[in-house]
A and B are shown apart, each in its own frame.
Chain A
Amino acid sequence: MDVTGPALRGTAARPRVLLATLPRGTAVRLAAERLLRLRDWPQVSTPAQADLLLVAGPHCVSLQAALDRLWQDLPAPRARVHARSADEVEDALEAGRARLRSPTVQHEQAAPEEGEQQDGEQRTQEHQEGDQDAPGHAQRDHHGRDRASGRRTADDQADDAHGGHSGGRDQHDAGHRPEAEQGARGDAHDGQEADGHRDDEGHGSNGGHGGGEMEMPAGLPMAEQGEDRDGLTLDQLHVPLGALLTDWPTGLTIRLVLQGDVVQHATLEEPATPVADAAAEPFWVRPWLRAAAGDPVPVGEAVRRRMAAHMDSLGRLLAVAGWPSEVLSARRLRDDLLSGAPRAAVAPRLERFTRRVGFSRTLAWLTRGIGVVTAQDAGEAGVSGPAARAGGDVTDRYRQWLTDIGHDLRRLEESSPLEVAVEESPRGHWSAEHPPSSALIGLLPRLLEGAELAAARLIVASLDPDPDELAARTLEVTHG
């Protein structure tokens, strides 16, 4: 009996989508999220759960390797598509669905059984739909063979170094994981692979199989130990968060040292930027950029964009806080605002949303006391906007967003021209040299240290910096 055909059709009817947003990909992400919501294609947060990898945004070289790792982690049946602009999303989704439905494509992609490897990992042969995405493509077979024997070769490392892929992710991992990150494998999507930084490849040969000093499970090094906050000596895990993490500021990478699930140390990395010719401006501040360039922009339009930005941030915060049904409401409101829905159409739902989320005692109880940024701290760090006005913890910040949305709702129809100095951009007073998000990002390391992982995610989501704003600055500096 052939069960593959019906099963593939079942998969294609409701694919689970892993949405990987690249820097400057906000508009594409919004289009994709809207379509996925309307089609009921669930969005998932790890490659293990996904059928379809949807890459959203302009080409980004520094994240290419990370994307390839995500793709490797997708179990078959699977498909990978790339939408570079918002108009391409619909076609990309259709292409992905067609590929998922086709038994021939899926057969080619399925992992050939090479027998049990020493570590038991099933080989996943690379197969990419877009050649331009696959440097090092030609050497694959050769490498597959090498890896089957459990050895890394010089070729491999050369391959990795220029962002190619290794079919055998296990050896690969063992190779560049001298800091005992192996425990964090699970979060491939959460970043340790997705950070796109390959600078530790060089350790490949010595870390690869335990360095021959001690027998390591699957050649993975053991965790190192360190003092924890209670004076105990605990294993330390090095877990980067970002850059392709779902419900996370696009392109931001924070390297964490975890003991248990408590953050001991957090370091920021320079956000990834797309290739310089990317025409897309940072989506959320576009009206401000246009006004600064001299275009007359009606205040109503800027206000609408700001409301949608706050709704987007709220959706993220709720996703991290674990309230999926309200995430749906927030994203629906955001999409309606962006598509120009009149005030009367959104006002009742907005009011219900504010009542349920803003007045939720449970949500407030869960977020109280986390990530306190007093008005004074904010001022010193150069933060303006909702985070500064809230002057408190995560609870105060999301309530501030809701308050701002409530005020903005009355101004949706204003047509006077936007003045950049008067009207605040979504994350604070707009200035190209000091974009408000850079101050927000600067706050993060200090706030994260000592927090539990769940709290750390809430803190980042409640500040919700937009690294695209920083990319605007570098562009202007290099071009100006």
Chain B
Amino acid sequence: MVEAGAWWTLLAAPGLLLGFAVLAVAGDAVLDARSAGRPVSLATAVRPFLGVPRALVAQPRRMPAPDRLLWRTGVITVPVAAVLSTLVIPFGNHAVADLSVGVVWFNAMEVLTWAGLWLAGWGPNAAFSLIGGYRFLAQGLAYELPLMFALISTATGAESLRVGDIAAAQHGLWYAVWMPVAFAAYLAGVLAFSFLGPFAYPVGRDLAGGVLGETSGVDRLLLQAGRWLWLASGSAMAVPLFLGGGAGPGLPASVWSLVKTLLVLGLLVWVLRRLPMIRADRYVEFAWVVLIPLTIVQVLVPAVVNLNR
């Protein structure tokens, strides 16, 4: 059973999240080095973090007539929402707060990214940045509903919105196994709200970086960190929702949580290199015509199973 509220979890949860995000960045750097034909060593993995001290001394960038308040708000919202989302994610048998509406909390934090990224695109008063912000809204229209139905599938299966209950309700048969469509839609959603890889549309290179194009220094660091923190948070949330949480033979629950989270994270880091950026205008069509009907049918499956029990 998940215990909630121990004081040290408040420190451990963001720390763990940051650790996972750092591992994801390092893993991506190693894969990059391999395809670029550079020798791979430990130094390869830490090179991306050379940018962190740099960001702290970089000159802040100002545009003419920026909306500074909203710009800052947006930039800060993205990583903060990612950290807040971890409050309800149990790691092993511990969670910061095992809310009775945990799934809704996670979803609400994720939707905050919409506002954050849109404001970050709006703030600098620059066309490409603004288009980047709009692009995230278009992308949101495509990924959000399938993601919500995927979350609802698991809640329906467990007859509870409490994340701990969902993890406990799987009894060894993971939801990933009997709700594969929901699992796939969820993982796609994770990449989408991290705006990485195939879902990097709001920060596309064709837009000269879109939302990221006008940010430098700490602003840029916060937005970039937000992306990888969200990827880590989404991977961690996949474990209680679809992979049975900390349940597993032999090892302590926290070790199982760790292993499963790393596997999901590794899978996502690999996938985000294997696909080109998907433009929202094409993805919306696919999402509404194919994904939404499929995920609705997916919600029906646990509903019918539970009614017949």
Contacts and interface: CB of A to CB of B under 8 A. Distances in A.
Interface of A: 3-4, 6-8, 10-11, 13-14, 16, 37-38, 40, 44-46, 48-49, 51, 75-77, 110-111, 119-122, 124, 170, 173-174, 182-187, 189-190, 217-220, 237, 239, 245-247, 258, 260-261, 318-326, 328-329, 332, 356, 360, 362-363, 365-366, 452-454, 457-458
B35 interface: yes
B203 to A, nearest CB: 9
25 contacts: A7-B56, A10-B52, A11-B54, A37-B36, A37-B37, A48-B61, A49-B212, A75-B60, A75-B61, A77-B59, A111-B59, A120-B68, A173-B64, A184-B127, A186-B128, A186-B213, A186-B214, A187-B127, A261-B134, A322-B204, A328-B35, A365-B282, A366-B277, A452-B281, A453-B207
B127 A360 contact: no
B56 A45 contact: no
Contacts of A6: 53
A185 B282 contact: no
A234 B38 CA distance: 49
Interface stretch (B43-51, B96-104, B141-149): B43-51
Interface string B195-217: 00010110011111100111111
A247 B64 CA distance: 27
Given A121-B64, A454-B204, A325 B127 contact: no
Contacts of A332: 35-37
B206 A366 contact: no
Given A189-B208, A321-B276, A10 B125 contact: no
B125 A322 contact: no
Nearest to B62: A121
B65 interface: yes
Contact of B124 (A11, A174, A186): A186
Contacts of A48: 61, 209, 213-216, 220
B159 interface: no
Contact of A75 (B38, B204, B216): B216
A46 B282 contact: no
Contact of A185 (B127, B200, B204, B281): B127
Nearest to A39: B38
A-B complex: 4 closest residue pairs judged by Cβ atoms: A322-B277, A186-B126, A218-B65, A323-B276
B299 to A, nearest CB: 27
Given A328-B35, A366-B278, A184 B126 contact: yes
A38 B36 CA distance: 7
Given A10-B54, A190-B208, A220-B65, A329 B47 contact: no
B32 A325 contact: yes
A279 to B, nearest CB: 32
B208 A77 contact: no
A122 B58 CA distance: 13
A242 to B, nearest CB: 12
A118 to B, nearest CB: 10
A3 B56 contact: yes
Contacts of A189: 208
Nearest to A44: B209
A34 to B, nearest CB: 10
A414 B31 CA distance: 36
Contacts of B35: 325, 328-329, 332
Contacts of B201: 322
Interface string B108-152: 000000000000000011111111001000000000000000000
A75 B130 contact: no
B63 interface: yes
Given A121-B64, A182-B64, 5 more contacts: A10-B51, A38-B37, A258-B127, A321-B277, A322-B276
Contacts of B217: 75
B206 A46 contact: no
Contacts of B33: 40
Given A7-B56, A183-B130, A453-B131, A49 B213 contact: yes
B206 A7 contact: no
A320 B33 CA distance: 21
A4 B59 CA distance: 12
Given A4-B57, A185-B126, A328-B32, A45 B213 contact: yes
Contacts of B274: 325, 356
Nearest to A4: B57
Contacts of B130: 183, 186
Contacts of B6: none
A444 B275 CA distance: 28
Contact of B66 (A120, A239, A324): A120
